[in-house]
A and B are shown apart, each in its own frame.
Chain A
Amino acid sequence: MRTKMFALFVLASILLSSCATATPSTQPETIIETVVVESTKLVEVEKTVPVEIEVLVTPTPGPNPEVVIEGVEPGAEITLWTFWLSPTFDEYIKSTIARFEETYPGVKVNWEDHQATFQDDLRNAFAAGNAPDVINLSVGEGWVSDYATQGLLLNLDDAVPQNVKDLYYPGLWQSQMVDGKNYQFPWYQGVAVELINTQLYQGTPEIDAEGKITGYAGGAGLKVEDFPKTVDGLPDLCKTIKEKTGTLCDIRLTVNDLLSQMVYEGNVKVMSDDGKQFTFDSPEAVEWLQMYVDMVKDGTVDKTVLVTTNDRVGLDLFTSGQAAFYQTGPNLIREVRANNPALYGYLAAVPAPVGKSGVLGKGLMGISVKGDTSYPNASIALAQFFTNPKSMLDFSKIVAIYPSTPASYEDPFFSTPSVAIEDSAKPIAKDIVSKYADIVPTIPNKADVNQIVLDAVQQALFNNVPAQQALSDAVAQANALLGQ
């Protein structure tokens, strides 16, 4: 009986004490004090448990893993310029900026997107002394080295700690080195694919009564899986396509950076080791140029596309359904889908053919910091933030671009199979991007030398000047520039 009475008393105490813990702190304390009389220990246990739980579940402010740059200037107001990302990616850019401003409190970011006039706007801004602090520059087109050689960008190799540099693939961090120093945080990367219009390349499938494909009609009768693995397979392919379909190959020379194309495609050594003379008239260079000369003579390539400075000219030709294939990034498949939905259903994508250098490619986009910015640390922090693994992963999820940070690829997103053609490069992207490397040496007077090479290439392509003579003349002119 005593035991029962004691048990009843304990239960009543528990009941009352739990009521007390469940009530807001504004409840009269008298109730708790009344209960505590004989079962202090028991009540204390019941009271401390929820308190402990509360401590455990409450998020505690700790070091934010995205904060990797120290000494960010308080009250900094910096400007970011991006290249051709608005309005499509407004939401992503704005949300990343908001996250940055939360991560580095006190820094304000003003964002501007510039498009076709980006380069002109940027030069004018530098000339006027109001260039942006953080700038999205193309690595692929050589913009980073253009501005870095003029002393306009911040040397990031000296300004960024090693643990931050280690976040990026070394080949991408070392893209566009100028005098052995890096001037860009590698941003989003592209994986070159050959987009194939299967109606032209293969033909329209002929289907029997059972729904099986019995053959193809109207196209070149080629198999997508047999697309050339190397660049030197293109001339024969173009001949076949011209003969079978009457269409021309949609191939583009990198008119703004021909020496680079020579290096990757032809494995051409463009400068001597001591950097004192150009050497792009070697047998390898002549062979590379002769390949294009032959294609022009055979009439198998679209000449307008071949020497256009605007990659959209080639993309437009492909999008209009008048070309069998075109090399581009998977991110631009959205243009085909938007402008010619009927073609979208007949698209296939294969890896782009590799040149004789065997190197798959180089970096695409980077983010640089203005050399004389008033807020170097805040600017470095912003450039780094946009290129950190989380920001890159978020970006990859909304468009077919590929991160420059190995950590991003650990997300299941990259290992999840997808049926969309835009994602066709996703499973192989890490392997390709990790091997990107810049194998082109720093070219002095690059714009002038490129113009000389462009003139020489045109003379060979369109004016019957032998490739060897055109390149030797160009080397002589380029060497004369070195002597100035």
Chain B
Amino acid sequence: MTRRTSLTPYLFLTPALLVIAVFTLYPIISVVYYSFTDYSIVTPPEWIGLRNYQQLMKDPVFWLALKHSFTYLLVTPTLIILCMILAIVVNRKLPGINLFRALYYIPVICGTIAVGIAWRMMLDTNGALNGLLLSMGILKEPVQWLAEPSYTLTIVMMLTIWLGLGYYMMIFLAGLQNIPEELYDAALIDGCNSWQKHWYVSVPGLRPQITFVAVISSLAALQVFNEVYILTGELGGILNSAVTIVFYMWRQAFRLHHAGMGSAVAMVLLIITLAFSIMNIRMLERGTEAQ
């Protein structure tokens, strides 16, 4: 009887464990193995020890990609600030406010690919942006926005921010609606103006949401690929100007057919995201303790 009782929980866990083993554990172990091999996907892997990692360290494009990925993390604070402001703006009882909330959310349901294509058309030499700026007299001749290395990464980051606005705004909006109204009343009695009311009440009250958004958006920023691919094609921008670490990994594995090298990049990315996750979880725990 005791033996049956001790086995029961494991029996319930088995299906989930099997799924995790097949779809998560096995791929991770495979990637670790492939990172030490010369592997082109179509031919069997050949063990080469640390050579992939050595070549990675010597490749300037890898370091450039790493730099771009860390630069991409600027998306996170930008999103937090913009989305909090937006959530405060739409957290009012005004006629038609639900329409505005829905409009801000539309990019989220459109999908990266569709939005990316629309942005590419907008930023085209003969696109809407140049048309607008030329008609306003700001530009004298059209700019090839996506062919200017100094603009490319910023444009890709702007696309990510625009895509994420609605989603993260909703998280902050839900957080704002959980802050008791009495706290705002007390702040007013204490003499807070409108700005101070949000600084001293809304922002501390949104701390769990801020931590959550920081965790989610920073991990997403480190893994950005779709936006880069859609806006720059398979090139990653002229002079590798928008190559991020995941894009670099894709290029190694699927364009240059070095799946072994791609796996080594994946391992580096795994270590970085693991470090970020641990750091973020600590922040989350600290936030909970503070509350």
Contacts and interface: CB of A to CB of B under 8 A. Distances in A.
Question: Do these two chains really belong together in a complex?
Answer: yes
Interface of A: 120, 123-124, 126-127, 147, 150-152, 248, 255, 302-304, 307-310, 313, 320, 322, 447-448, 451, 455, 458-459, 462-463
Contacts of A322: 125-126
Contacts of A150: 40, 42-43
Contact of A124 (B41, B144, B149): B41
Given A447-B257, A448-B256, A463-B239, A303 B144 contact: yes
Interface string B226-242: 00000001110011100
Most-contacted residue by chain A among B41, B42, B149, B234 (CB, 10 A): B42
17 contacts: A120-B254, A123-B42, A123-B254, A124-B41, A126-B42, A127-B42, A150-B40, A151-B43, A248-B125, A302-B125, A307-B238, A308-B235, A310-B233, A310-B234, A322-B125, A451-B256, A459-B239
A233 B169 CA distance: 56
B234 A309 contact: yes
B146 interface: yes
Interface in B18-42: 40-42
Contact of A304 (B61, B146, B149): B146
Nearest to B124: A304
B interface SS class:
helix
Contacts of B257: 123, 447
B88 interface: no
Given A120-B254, A313-B233, A448-B256, A458 B41 contact: no
B225 to A, nearest CB: 14
B147 interface: yes
Given A151-B43, A255-B235, 20 more contacts: A123-B42, A124-B41, A126-B41, A126-B42, A147-B42, A302-B144, A303-B147, A304-B124, A304-B125, A304-B147, A307-B147, A308-B233, A309-B235, A310-B233, A320-B126, A447-B256, A448-B256, A458-B239, A462-B238, A463-B149
Nearest to A458: B239
A interface SS class:
helix
Nearest to A151: B43
Contact of B238 (A147, A151, A302, A458): A458
B148 to A, nearest CB: 8
B255 interface: yes
Contacts of A462: 149, 238-239
A248 B255 CA distance: 30
Contact of A123 (B41, B144, B146, B149): B41
A252 B18 CA distance: 50
B147 to A, nearest CB: 4
A127 B41 contact: yes
A250 to B, nearest CB: 11
B57 to A, nearest CB: 16
A222 B239 CA distance: 35
Given A127-B41, A127-B42, A322-B126, A303 B256 contact: no
A322 B125 CA distance: 10
A5 B107 CA distance: 105
Interface in B55-89: 61
A127 B147 CA distance: 36
Nearest to A302: B125
B235 A303 contact: no
A310 B257 CA distance: 19
Nearest to B254: A120
Contacts of A127: 41-42
A309 B233 contact: yes
